[in-house]
Amino acid sequence: MTPDDWTLYELRARLADPARADADFDEAIRRGAEPGIVMRVAVRAAESGNWKRSAALFNGLVRNPAFSTEDRYLQAVANLKAGDASGYRAACAGIAKRLPPVGPELSPIEAYLAAMAFDVGPNATDDWTKPLAWIDHALARLLAFEKANPDRKDALRRERHVFLNTRGAVLYRAGRFEEAAKGLREGMSLHPNGGEFHDWLFLALAEHRLGHADAAKEAADKARTGPKPGAVWEKAEVELLAAELDAALSPTGK
């Protein structure tokens, strides 16, 4: 190792004075730290509530071929938490650009993650055909697996519920509110408790857009009494969506 070796700064950031860890990590990154280190620092920034730093670090990784769809989902959330709408759209555009076409090479989990990134915030795209195609692909693959494995149908209900929830959320983002409400209720019928936070939240938003004030309020009340998340990324997503719900159902909301 030499004094210019980035690993020296990364090591000191992990082992020495926590007060100067960010400066050491920044220096390690400036000197060419590997992408895994940058990712770790981005997550660390999110965990400390520094969402602008987290988003900037994620945004700097977009040209790395190892930057996965799951990583780009985190990038999308970080940009939303940082208040950067254009950064969020860019993260979603990056997903659309790198994802394999709908077909055998596109795994249902990756298709689901991609669609979920597009529904976590408003205005992710102007063209919703791809996100809808992704989640439809994921559902079709899941249903085909269920058909081939009838003994596992009950065990797969949870996965189908999650996929249907995401499809309903994407339909809501696409402005197809009646279809969104119908699809969300279909998925909720598979949930042991009749739905969870994301179901009730997007149902409330869809019913609100349809002018069904009582149904929207009932769904919103159930969303607000749901369990509180613990993990930083889940918490961030819930906070973003809850704030959107509050704004939409406020007296001045649209």
Number of domains in the chain: 1
Output the pLDDT for position 110: 95
Output the pLDDT for position 13: 54
Task: Write the DSSP assignment of 206-229 as a string of letters.
Answer: HHHHTT-HHHHHHHHHHHHTSPPP
166 found inside a domain = yes
32 found inside a domain = no
164 found inside a domain = yes
**Structural domain of residue 163, as residue ranges?**
105-254
SS3 track for 146-203: HHHCHHHCCCCHHHHHHHHHHHHHHHHHCCCHHHHHHHHHHHHCCCCCCCCHHHHHHH
pTM (predicted TM-score) = 0.88
206 found inside a domain = yes
CA 122 to chain centroid? 12
| 131 in Cβ contact with 125 (< 8 Å) | yes
Output the pLDDT for position 38: 80
Output the pLDDT for position 9: 47
Q: How far is CA 36 from CA 29, 32, 61, 72, 213, in A?
A: 11, 11, 10, 14, 47
User: Cα–Cα distance between 132 and 53 in angstroms, integer?
Assistant: 31
Q: How far is CA 116 from CA 6, 76, 119, 163, in A?
A: 35, 10, 5, 9
Q: What is the mean pLDDT of each run of 10 residues along the chain (254 residues)?
A: 54 56 59 71 91 95 90 97 98 96 94 97 97 97 91 86 97 98 97 95 98 97 84 94 95 63
In this structure, what DSSP letter does residue 67 have?
-
25 found inside a domain = no
110 found inside a domain = yes
Output the pLDDT for position 25: 60
How many residues would you count in the chain?
Answer: 254
Picking from 104, 128, 126, the residue whose alpha carbon sits closest to that of residue 115 is 128
124 found inside a domain = yes
CATH number of the domain residue 137 falls in: 1.25.40.10
Output the pLDDT for position 181: 98
169 found inside a domain = yes
Classified as helix, coil or strand, 251 is: coil
188 phi-psi bin (left φ>0, alpha ψ -120 to 50, beta other): alpha
Output the pLDDT for position 44: 87
